[in-house]
Amino acid sequence: MAETALDLNAAAAIPSGTEHRPRHVAIIMDGNGRWATQKGWPRLVGHRRGAERVKQIVHAAPDLGVDWLTIYAFSTENWKRSTEEVLGLMGIFARYIEREAVTMSREGVRMRFIGERERLNSRLRNLMNSIEDRTAGNTRLNLTVAINYGGRDEILRAARRLSERMARNEVDAITEESFAACLDTAGHPEPDLVIRTSGETRVSNFLPYQAAYAEYEFTPVLWPDFTPDHLAAILDRFGMRARRFGGA
């Protein structure tokens, strides 16, 4: 896709000083367990503190010119962690959704989820469905949370969906458009910027198809310490990058 300038109406809607900032930011929120361990606390304390940080970043994102925010909460590989940590994380996710439903509605946040849901417990799935329905009309910020998400798994599931649609004669040909329509992120813009906290420099199976032309930023800051000021600084640096999308 060719790079184009923002139209005048879109530019007018962006707060002053954010004209060259990404509209869709994706974040690999890494370092919760390490943050807690460094302080001599249980890993779940770090995950709870990380959930509090999510609230702050979600609240700040629209004022920084971000329209779409996608966060990596739990990967398909995270099931390898201890049963205690996995169950604790699922409880944190459920409490976050319950407690933030009213705030998100009030602040105009639309919340959606990507990932394979069947392995999640029924209470969490019901909460996810409920907040998606409740916030469906909100437009100030599109928040997407990846839970039990893996990029390879998503691509395989999309391939199956596309095959089934072709078998039902709903799709004429395999194209980028027909394949993208079968991804969990169908209808979402591709991320402009992917951030990973904690100093690791891996992409960890996060949005491999969608982020083909994204810019990446790796920061040593652990997620519980990642503030809106850190995000603003990264967005400023993004504005100095030249994005050519294969052009000269």
Handedness of CA 86, 99, 117, 58 (dihedral sign): negative
Answer yes or no: is 204 a known binding residue: yes
Active-site annotation holds for 67:
no
Answer yes or no: is 198 a known binding residue: no
**Which among 78, 153, 225, 236 is annotated as catalytic?**
78
Active-site annotation holds for 63:
no
Site of tokens 């398909």: 76
Answer yes or no: is 178 a known binding residue: no
CA dist 208 and 173 (Å) reads 23
Answer yes or no: is 121 a known binding residue: no
Using DSSP's 3-state secondary structure scheme, residue 14 falls into coil
Answer yes or no: is 83 a known binding residue: no
| Residue 122 neighbours by CB under 8 Å, 6+ apart | none
Answer yes or no: is 79 a known binding residue: yes
Answer yes or no: is 81 a known binding residue: yes
Answer yes or no: is 99 a known binding residue: no
CA dist 126 and 245 (Å) reads 40
Closest CA to 73 of 28, 14, 9: 28
Handedness of CA 156, 158, 159, 161 (dihedral sign): positive
| Residue 99 neighbours by CB under 8 Å, 6+ apart | none
Answer yes or no: is 47 a known binding residue: yes
Answer yes or no: is 106 a known binding residue: no
For residue 96, CA distances in Å to 99, 103, 127, 141, 169 come to: 5, 11, 10, 17, 41
**Which among 7, 9, 30, 172 is annotated as catalytic?**
30
Answer yes or no: is 246 a known binding residue: no
The annotated binding site for substrate is made up of 31-35, 43, 47, 75-77, 79, 81, 196, 202-204
Residues with active-site annotation? 30, 78
The annotated binding site is made up of 30-35, 43, 47, 75-77, 79, 81, 196, 202-204, 215
